[in-house]
Every structure is written in structure tokens, then in C-alpha cells.
Structure 1
């Protein structure tokens, strides 16, 4: 790889990020950090690294699960088969990432936009399901602790049907009449 290749690819990436108005950093030639704003996962930081033959794409999704590792890995592998440009992977400690590679010839504004959109979609769309699988006990414990102390549940509302005993499907016999639906919607297909 030549310095010229890095400069050419950096120019394409920079223009694309500027046109997309994405917050980003350029700490060194061939290295980019982009903030992708989400709704479930509020921000995903995506790294673009110019390598010798390809542009590497890396984004941290969540830390290693506390529980149900095999169930989470199965969930991620099943999604990998339907994903574009990136796939779920884990590092040596079990943290979950999205990773991929684009050949230098494929680094165009349209493809960068497409791959960043894929990273954002996969990190954001599946985030709550990953947390329920890998951190369900902790989420329920936190919910109960906050309810007991009258603390705000605002940032846990996405897990209400999962964490609130009155809303769980197994609570039908003891549920309050005004508690809303008892069944979670089926998981979304990608």
C-alpha cells in the first residue's frame, strides 16, 4: 500500500462523512472514528481503518454477556447469514463487535454510506434483544431495585415487558387488569 492510496481513500471517506454530517475523528492517516447515532443503542462508534488491501470496519456493540452466552452466540450467528457487509464477531474476552472488510476498489461514497448504515442498523435494531439474552437477570434486578426505591424507570422502559413482573407472560394469573398487554411481540426478522 502506498501513501497515495491512503490519501486517496482518506479523501473519499472524509468527503462522505462531511456530506453525511456525521461526527467523526481522524486521529491518523487511514484511521477514522465515526459516531453513529441510534435509538436503542444511543451511539455506536465505528472505526474505519485503511489496510494494505482493504478498508477494515469495526464497531463495538456490547460487552461480554453475563449469562446465556450460547443463546446469544446462536442469535448473532443466525443474523450473520442475512447481513450486508459486516458480521457479528467476538473478541478474546467475549465482547461483541460488528466487523467487515471492503476492498479498496469498493471504497466509494455510496458504499461507505451503505456500510455505515448497515453497522448502525445491526447495532441498533438488535441491541435490546442482545441485552435481554445476555443480561436479563441484571436488567430484572435493576428494575426491581428501582421500583422498590421509587427510582425512575425511564431508561429501562424498553425492557418493561421483559423486566416488569406484572407484564411478563408468566404473570397472567396475578396481573393487574390495567397492566397492558402480557405478551411480548415476536422478534423482528432482519
Structure 2
């Protein structure tokens, strides 16, 4: 049986994620259910491993760098991609799926911030970026379904035989990893 406490109170969130983080370990069950997707990264680790990863990330993601990113990249994305989509739709009376467009907008900005890569989900052919975006949405959703499994053996058997939701999870993780590997490879080649 999995017991949960959910909070949205900002003071509680700060207490849990910052002030007293060490008091709230993730537990072996949590880590094992998300291991396929998250590995042992910052979102799926505790203790010293988490501290090392947090320290490393803090150099890259500080208040000043985030503010600069927003001022530079998000404004460009707004002006060059998002607003033209809205303008074009208003001129042609085209109906837009606002949720889809805003998800693509957010995803592009996250990819630029985290990977310094433009997936082109709002413009261009966007096939690679769109496939990665769909996989990046599916993988956490499918991983989190493991928490709802009445009997953990069910998802484990599905994983063993590579069927159903576990097959989809594996395919999604494969797409995410391939995208990440391509980014790493291109960065290494650019360094050379």
C-alpha cells in the first residue's frame, strides 16, 4: 500500500524541497518505480548523490541565468513563433488548439534551457521534436501508472514480456534517450 501526502502550499513545498529536504527521502519504492525513466539523476536520488547533482545544477541554473534566458530566448520564441501563429489564425479564422500550442511553446523553451537545443515544435517540420515531445510526455505518465498498480507484479510481468504500457514506456524512454544521445554527440563534435 502506498501512502501519500499532497501539498500545494508554497511554505510546505519550500520546507520539503529546500529547508528540510533531508527529512523527506524518496524511499526505495519511489526510486525503483521511476528508475527506468529517471535513472539515478537529481529527480530520483537522495543523500550525497542528490547533493552532488544539486550543486552541479546550481551552477547552471541560478536566478541570474534563468532571468537572462527568459529575457532573451522566451521573448524571441514569443515574437518569432507564438505570436505569428496567433496572428495567422486570426487572419484566416483558423481554430487553434491552444493547449497543444502552449505545450509546444513551453516544451521548446524547456529544451532550449536544459539542452540548448531547438526542437522546432512550433515551426519547421518538427518531426524529431514532436516525437521527442510526445515521448517525453508519455514516459512520466506511464512511469507514474506503476504507482497505481494494485499489484506491483502486474507491471513487472508486463515489463518482463515487453507488453502493454510497459512496452510503450520502453519505446518512449528509447526515443528520449536517443534524442539526448544525439544532443550529447553533437555537443562533443562541436567541442572538437
Higher helix share: 2
TM-score (norm 1): 0.29
Structure that is richer in strand per residue? 1
TM-score normalised to structure 2 length: 0.29
